[in-house]
Amino acid sequence: MTDSWRLADTQVSSRLMIGSALYPSPEVMQSAIEASGAEVVTVSLRRQTAGQNTDSSYWSWLKQLPVHWLPNTAGCYGVREAVTTAQMAREVFGTHWLKLEVIGDEQTLQPDPFGLVEAADILIRDGFEVFPYMTDDLVLAQRLVDVGCRILMPWASPIGSGQGIRHPQNIMLLRERFPQVQLIVDAGLGRPSDATEAMEFGCDGVLLNSAIALSPDPTRMAGAFEQAVSAGRLGYRAGIMPQRQWASASTPTIGTPFWHQVP
The Cα–Cα gap between 60 and 256 comes to: 67
At its nearest, how many Å lie between other proteins and the CB of residue 153? 12
**Nearer Cβ to other proteins (20/135):** 20
**Nearer Cβ to other proteins (72/196):** 72
**Nearer Cβ to other proteins (51/66):** 51
C-beta of residue 193 within 8 angstroms of C-beta of residue 221: no
222 interacts with other proteins by CB under 8 A: no
Residues 68-87 that bind other proteins (CB under 8 A): 71-72, 74, 80-81, 84-85, 87
At its nearest, how many Å lie between other proteins and the CB of residue 53? 8
At its nearest, how many Å lie between other proteins and the CB of residue 146? 26
21 interacts with other proteins by CB under 8 A: yes
At its nearest, how many Å lie between other proteins and the CB of residue 31? 14
45 interacts with other proteins by CB under 8 A: yes
**Rounded to 5 degrees, what are φ and ψ at 163?**
-85, -10
- Marked catalytic residue, from 18, 70, 72, 99: 99
The Cα–Cα gap between 156 and 135 comes to: 8
50 interacts with other proteins by CB under 8 A: yes
The Cα–Cα gap between 221 and 40 comes to: 17
Determine the straight-line distance between the first and last CA of the chain, rounded to whole angstroms.
Answer: 49
Active-site residue, 99 included: yes
Q: By CB under 8 A, name the one of 103, 119, 120, 159 that touches other proteins.
A: 159
Long-range contacts at 43-50 (CB < 8 A, ≥ 24 apart): 43/69, 43/70, 43/71, 43/72, 43/93, 44/71, 44/72, 44/74, 45/71, 45/85, 45/88, 45/89, 45/92
Task: Give 104-144 as a DSSP string.
Answer: --TTT--B-HHHHHHHHHHHHHTT-EEEEEE-S-HHHHHHH
93 interacts with other proteins by CB under 8 A: yes
At its nearest, how many Å lie between other proteins and the CB of residue 12? 19
**Rounded to 5 degrees, what are φ and ψ at 151?**
-130, 140
* β-bridge mates for residue 182, sequence order: 151
Residues 51-70 that bind other proteins (CB under 8 A): 51-52, 54-56, 58-59, 62-63
22 interacts with other proteins by CB under 8 A: yes
C-beta of residue 163 within 8 angstroms of C-beta of residue 157: yes
Residues 186-215 that bind other proteins (CB under 8 A): 209-210
The Cα–Cα gap between 161 and 143 comes to: 27
Catalytic positions, please? 99
User: Which residues in this chain contact other proteins in the complex, by CB under 8 A?
Assistant: 19-23, 29, 42-52, 54-56, 58-59, 62-63, 71-72, 74, 80-81, 84-85, 87-89, 91-93, 159-160, 209-210
